[in-house]
Amino acid sequence: MRRTEIKSLLQSRDYGNEVLVQGWVRTKRGSKNVSFIALNDGSTINNVQIVVDVDDNSAAILEKVNTGAALSVVGELVESAGSGQKVEVHAKNIEVLGIANPDEYPLQPKKHSLEFLREKAHLRYRTSTFGAIARIRHNMNFAIHKFFHDRGFFNIHSPIITGSDAEGAGEMFQVTTLNLKDIPKTYDGQVDFRQDFFGKAANLTVSGQLEAELAALALSKVYTFGPTFRAENSNTVRHLAEFWMIEPEFAFGDITDDMNLAEDMLKYVIGYALEYCMEDLSFLSNRQAEEEKSKKTDERSMELIEKLRFVLDKPFERLTYTEAIDILMNSKPNKKKKFQFVIEGWGADLQSEHERYLVEKHFQKPVILTDYPSNIKAFYMKQNDDGKTVRAMDILFPQIGEIVGGSQREENYEKLYNRIKEMGIPEELMWWYLETRKFGTVPHAGFGLGFERLMLFITGMSNIRDVIPFPRTPMNLEF
C-alpha cells in the first residue's frame, strides 16, 4: 500500500477509503475506550487525528505510542465529527516504527523556550515552529531562484575557498592544511604559506560578488546564492558566522536599476510567501501574538501577515545618506542622547538603531539609502563626482535594519586602481579583477541580500539563530 502524505490526506474527501499514513506522534490523549493520536509527517504544519478503539490488542501498542514515536498506521479515512479538522483516520493497524521513551525524549507536548530548542537543534525540526520555518525557508529559496530565472538571470556558482578579501574588511576564516603545532616560517618570521595546500594564504569567501562581476561582464545578468563566512565577532541577533547570500550582478545598468531590481525581488518573494506559505505564516503569526502578550513592555510589533502586506503596498522610500544624517541629527533620540551611538555629524557609520529609527519611526516603510561616504564602504563602489561619496545603496527594513547592501561598481580602471592602492589592498591579489576594467568594461551593478535576514523578516522570529537549522556563531559549533 502506498503512503499518503498528511498534506494531501487532509484535503482528501474519499471517505471510506483505506489509507496508509506514517509520521511522528505529537500528542496522544483519550479515555478508557478510545485514544486520539495527533500525527505529523512534516508535509504540512497540520496533524492528522488517528482514532484508536482501545481493546486488549491495541492497548499494548498504545503504551508505546508516546510523543516523538514514529508510527505506520493503516486505517479508514472518515469524516471528522470534531471541530478543527475535516477528516480523520480510524486505525485498523498500528505499527510502532520507532519508540521515543518519554523519560528521555526532550520534546514534550508543552511550550519549550527557543533557547532550550537551540540546544536541541537536532530535534527542533519536529516542533511546529521549526517545521514551519523550514518549509518557508525552502519556499523562499525556490522563489528567489524563480524570480531571477524568470527574468533571464543565470545562476553562477562562485568559489567557497578564495585567496581574496572581497569586502576588504579582513573578517575572514583561514583555510589551511599546515600543521598548527609546527607552522613553517619564512626567514623574517612570517607564516610560510608557500608550503600550504594552495601555496598561498586561503580563506573562506565573504562574498561571491567579485566572481559574479566577472560572469556579468560576459553573460550580462547573473546571480549567486551561496554560503558566506564572516569571522566578525559580533554576537548579535542579526549576525551569523556562516550565512547564505544572494548576489545578483548585471551589466549595462546603474544604481537606479539596482534599487529597482532589489525592491522588485523583495516584493516578489514576500508576495510568494503570502501566496504559498499561508498556513505556516498563520501559525507563526499566532505564535508571535502569544509571545507579545507575555512581554513586559507595551511596545507592540505589527501582526506578521499585516506587516508583510504593508511592505508590498508602498514604494520604498529612497534618499541619500546625507539626507538621512540630517534627519537623524534632528531626531529626538539623537538630541536626547538616547541612541547608544549618538550621531555627531556627516561621515558616521549607521548602526542598526539608526537604521531602524528611519524605517520604523520616521518613514514607517522600508528605506533605501544611497551615496554613502566612500571611507565607510568597500573599494569597488563607483565613486561620485563630489570626491567623497560612492554609489552605494543599502535597503533598510523594519525589525532588521540592513537587509540588502549593494552598489554600482567602479568601471573605470584608473579610479579603481587608485582606490585599491589607497586602501592598501595587495594588487597581486586583484589583477584579474582589474583586468575586467581594461577589457570591455561597462557600467554594472549588483547587491547582496542576506538570506537569513530575509527569513527573520518573513517569519517574524527575533533571533537569526532560529531561522537557519544549525547556526554558527562565536563560541558555538554544536551539530
Q: Determine the 3-state secondary structure of 446 from DSSP.
A: strand
Q: Taking contact as CB under 6 A, which single stretch among the options 6-14, 100-108, 348-356, 404-412 is the one that binds ligand 4AD?
A: 404-412
CB of 363 to ligand 4AD, least distance (A): 18
Cα angle vertex 15, ends 13, 20, to 5°?
95
Rg of the chain over Cα atoms, rounded to whole angstroms, equals 27
Among 65, 403, 455, 467, binds ligand 4AD (CB under 6 A): 403
For residue 459, give the C-alpha cell.
Answer: 517569519
Residue 28, C-beta contacts closer than 8 angstroms, at least 6 positions apart? 35, 36, 37, 38, 62, 65, 66, 67
Antiparallel, parallel or unpaired: β 242-251 and 317-320: unpaired
**Using rule CB under 6 A, residue 401 touches ligand 4AD:** no
CB nearer to ligand 4AD: pick between 37 and 241? 241
Examine residue 207 and tell whether it contacts ligand 4AD (CB under 6 A).
yes
Instruction: Based on the shown chain and the rule CB under 5 A, indicate whether residue 248 belongs to the binding site for Mg ion.
Output: no
Which residue from 405, 406, 446, 460 is in contact with Mg ion, where contact means CB under 5 A? 405
Binding map of ligand 4AD across residues 111-150, x = CB under 6 A, - = no contact: ----------------------------------------
Question: Which residues are bridge partners to 242 per DSSP?
Answer: 229
Q: Does 401 bind Mg ion (CB under 5 A)?
A: no
In three state form, how does the secondary structure of 197-253 look? Answer: CCCCCEEECCCCHHHHHHHHHHHCEEEEEEEEECCCCCCCCCCCCEEEEEEEEEECC
Is residue 446 a contact point for ligand 4AD (CB under 6 A)? yes
**Residue 406 contacts ligand 4AD per CB under 6 A:** yes
Total length of the chain: 479
- CB-wise, 24 or 223, nearer to ligand 4AD? 223
Smallest gap from Cβ 451 to ligand 4AD, in A, equals: 8
> Could you tell me which residues come within 8 angstroms of residue 173 by beta carbon, excluding any fewer than 6 positions away?
203, 204, 229, 231, 241
Q: Per CB under 6 A, does 399 bind ligand 4AD?
A: no
Residue whose grid cell is 537543534: 121
Of these, 448, 456, 460, 467, which contacts ligand 4AD (CB under 6 A)? 448
3-state secondary structure 46-74: CCEEEEEECCHHHHHHHCCCCCCCEEEEE
Nearer to ligand 4AD, 64 or 151 (CB): 151
The option from ligand 4AD, Mg ion, none interacting with 209 (CB < 5 to 8 A, set by class) reads: ligand 4AD
Among 76, 291, 353, 402, binds ligand 4AD (CB under 6 A): 402
| Binding residue count for Mg ion, defined by CB under 5 A | 1
Q: Which one of 48-56, 154-162, 183-191, 236-244 is the stretch in contact with ligand 4AD (CB under 6 A)?
A: 236-244
Closest CB to Mg ion among 281 and 343?
343
Beta-carbon contacts of residue 326 (< 8 Å; ≥ 6 apart): none
| Sheet (strand 154-155) strand order | 154-155, 221-229, 242-251, 444-450, 401-408, 389-397, 367-373, 317-320
Select from 53-61, 62-70, 370-378, 400-408 the region that touches Mg ion (CB under 5 A): 400-408
Q: Using the rule CB under 6 A, is 404 a contact of ligand 4AD?
A: yes
Residue 304 phi/psi, 5° resolution?
A: -55, -50
Give the per-residue contact string, 244-283, with ligand 4AD (x = CB under 6 A; - = no): -x-x------------------------------------
C-alpha 409/C-alpha 424 separation (Å) is 19
Closest CA to 248 of 278, 284, 224: 224
Question: And the C-alpha cell for 458?
Answer: 518573513
Is residue 450 close enough to count as binding Mg ion by CB under 5 A? no
CB of 377 to Mg ion, least distance (A): 8
355 contacts ligand 4AD (rule: CB under 6 A): no
Catalog residues that contact Mg ion under the rule CB under 5 A. 405
Catalog residues that contact ligand 4AD under the rule CB under 6 A. 166-167, 207, 209, 230, 232, 239-240, 243, 245, 247, 402-407, 446-448, 450, 452-453
